[in-house]
Amino acid sequence: MIIDLIKSRRAVFPAQYNDKPIDRKDIEKILEAARWAPTHRKTEPWRFKVLTGASRESLGYFLSAKYRETEPRPKEIKAKKILEKTQQSAVIIAICMQRDPEESVPEWEEIAATAMAVQNMWLCCTSMRIGAYWSSPSLIRFMDEFFPLAEGEKCLGFFYMGYYDEEPEPGVRSPVEEKTVWLN
C-alpha cells in the first residue's frame, strides 16, 4: 500500500551510500515520477539538472571553494564535508524552480509544486531501494555561477542519491491528532 511506502521514506545521507552506480534508466524513472506532481494551472515549474561523473565532482569543488570564499571564518572540516558529500553520491540532482513568466499563480504554489515533484522522486527512490536526501545549503544562491539558469529560474537545493547497505532508522512522528482540529 502507498501508506507503507510513505512511512518508509527516509533521508539517507551520502556518508551511508555504497559505490554502486545508479543506471541512467533508473534516474529517468525517478524523474518521470517527478513529472506527475500536482501543478496549479499546469505551470510544471520543476527543473532538474542531473550531475554524474565529472560534473558531480566539479560541483563539490565549486561548493567547497565558494564556502571558503564567502564564509567569514571558514572551517576546513566543513569545506571537506561539502566536497565529500558530492564524492560519496552516485548522482546529484539540482532541484530548480522556473517561475511562470505570466505569474499566473503565486510563487509559493510553484515552490510547493516543485517540492511535491521531489516527494514523488523520493518515494520512487524508496521503492527502488535508492537512498536520497534533499539539502538546501545557503550556497545554492551561487548556482548561477556553476550552471546556467534561465530568467526566473532558481535553485532550491540538491537531491543526493546513492545505494546503501544498512537499513535507515525507522521514522518517528508525533500522532496526527496532536496537529489536527476537526471543525463540524
- Residue type (1 letter), 130: I
CA distance 125 to 111: 21
The reply, when asked if residue 40 is annotated as ligand binding, is yes
Q: Which three cell numbers stand for residue 176?
A: 496526527
CA distance 144 to 48: 14
Q: Are strands 130-135 and 153-163 parallel, antiparallel or unpaired?
A: antiparallel
The reply, when asked if residue 136 is annotated as ligand binding, is yes
CA distance 9 to 177: 21
CA 98 to the chain's CA centroid: 15
Measuring CA to CA, which residue among 157, 90, 160, 164 is closest to residue 132? Answer: 160
Q: Are strands 130-135 and 91-98 parallel, antiparallel or unpaired?
A: unpaired
The reply, when asked if residue 89 is annotated as ligand binding, is no
The reply, when asked if residue 55 is annotated as ligand binding, is no
Residues flagged as binding site: 40, 134-136
Residues flagged as binding site for FMN: 40, 134-136
